[in-house]
Amino acid sequence: MQTAKKNSPFFVCGQCGLESRKWLGRCPDCGAWDSLTEHQQTQLSSAGRQTAIAQPLHMTTTEENTRLITGIGEMDRVLGGGIVPGSLVLIGGDPGIGKSTLILQLLASLAAKNLQMLYVTGEESAAQIRMRAERLKISGHNISISTENSVEAIIDLAGRMHPALMAVDSIQTMYSEEVGSAPGSVTQVREATARLLQLAKINHIPVLLVGHVTKDGAIAGPRVLEHMVDTVLYFEGDRGQVFRILRTVKNRFGSTNEIGVFEMQDSGLIEVSNPSALFLAERPVNVSGSVVLPSVEGTRPILVEVQALVSRSSLGTARRTAIGADPQRLALLTAVLEKKLGIALYDHDIFLNIAGGIRISEPALDLGVVAALLSSYLDKPIDANTVVCGEIGLAGEIRAVGQMEQRVREAGRLGFQTFLMPESSARQLQSSKKEKMRVLAVRGVSELAEHLFTA
């Protein structure tokens, strides 16, 4: 029989989860002041401990073919083809972005297949969930609602119901009765997640967790929370925009950096199967400072509009603002233009925007940024049927980027006729003739203006 014994107290940082044997005024890991709180650790003695067992790898079975297909194409895409039984999925996002709406629509889609769903909410009442379901025109059949906060009670309920999927909204409101700290604390979040992870793995019940985010955009709670789960999804978007991006940052059962695109309407979230056409629907024609970039998010090519505005500054220090792109990368590319082309931009304000509210982080954005900057600075529009793509080095050279054939194919599908790309990519590309695409190869930024602004 296992017996418990008390050890000396330890201290846990409420911001980052760091554990220390002594109290510190400032956390040495995250730098937060007065964030360490005292906890009492309980360990089990070795008496009565069970013997661990191992199983040969070739005798283990896989559940890859038993994924739950949600019926929401964009959701299935970011999950790698559906929900794996026994997996733990964490969804984070800003307040009011639509996380609870997405969860309810997901449960309704699976419930329509006559599967039993369990929705555990610690933030809303059952009546509030019912009001949202009526607004989304969801009948609620095969969906059970629980407003329980105790992890032990939730595990007992799930063990009795054995649902096909359980959603917990949110993990920060759950608490374990065996932990003395308040709900939402680092210890409670970590313990609650560990209990739900054990439930998922033992009973093969997929569990969907909703997590709050901090002001920096990271999921609140200890960083170990993201390491414990199988999949981490971020629901992004500006509440002033109708577009929502569901982005995969970790997935043990599929590719990462995959995105799903949704449009927020009165009836809920509507999946966007052709985001390229949607992002370019309001693109201005024959306007300087605008160019189209074929980006790749995960396995999906998406065409986005890169906008730049370069104007003379009336202040002592010129401003550099980037929305949807890395501001440090914008500063670097501006310096390359000044050095290699002799363009004086030190006294000009520069504003960069990726239209549609999407964020692009891949190096292929470089050529689009430089082309848009040149177009705005020279006040010369770029041909509306031209797309650009490539990485730019500090020496002004234009480097190749991956998945160029998919980019060319997507641009050709939307009717673009000219593709400006790195010379090395143009040599390796074999599908340009098949796609009837005119390819312009460039080696450095010094050739860029000649290709873009000469007839």
Burial of 408 per CB tally in 10 Å (0-12, 13-18, 19+)? buried
Q: CA–CA distance from 129 to each of 72, 96, 145, 234 (Å)?
A: 20, 15, 8, 22
301 has binding-site annotation: no
**In what order do the strands lie in the sheet containing 386-388?**
320-323, 348-354, 300-312, 290-297, 386-388, 418-422, 438-442
93 has binding-site annotation: yes
Residues 6+ apart with CB under 8 A from 352: 306, 307, 308, 321, 322, 323, 324, 325, 330, 369, 372, 373
Distance CA 330, CA 311 (A): 15
95 has binding-site annotation: yes
Residue 53: count other Cβ atoms within 10 Å of its Cβ: 5
99 has binding-site annotation: yes
Residue 428: helix, strand or coil by DSSP? helix
357 has binding-site annotation: no
Distance CA 136, CA 178 (A): 38
Which two three-digit tokens encode residue 48?
Answer: 């009565």
Q: Which residue has the tokens 């603002």?
A: 321
143 has binding-site annotation: no
Burial of 95 per CB tally in 10 Å (0-12, 13-18, 19+)? exposed
239 in Cβ contact with 199 (< 8 Å): no
Distance CA 206, CA 163 (A): 9
Q: How many helices (H) and strands (E) does the chain have?
A: 12, 23
Distance CA 97, CA 241 (A): 10
Over its C-alpha atoms, the chain yields an Rg (Å, rounded) of: 26
Distance CA 1, CA 418 (A): 75
**In what order do the strands lie in the sheet containing 143-146?**
143-146, 117-121, 165-169, 207-211, 88-93, 231-236, 243-251, 259-265, 268-271
Q: CA–CA distance from 131 to each of 119, 128, 134, 135, 137 (Å)?
A: 15, 5, 5, 6, 10
Distance CA 10, CA 163 (A): 38
Task: Summarize the annotated binding site as residue ranges.
Answer: 93-100
Task: Summarize the annotated binding site for ATP as residue ranges.
Answer: 93-100
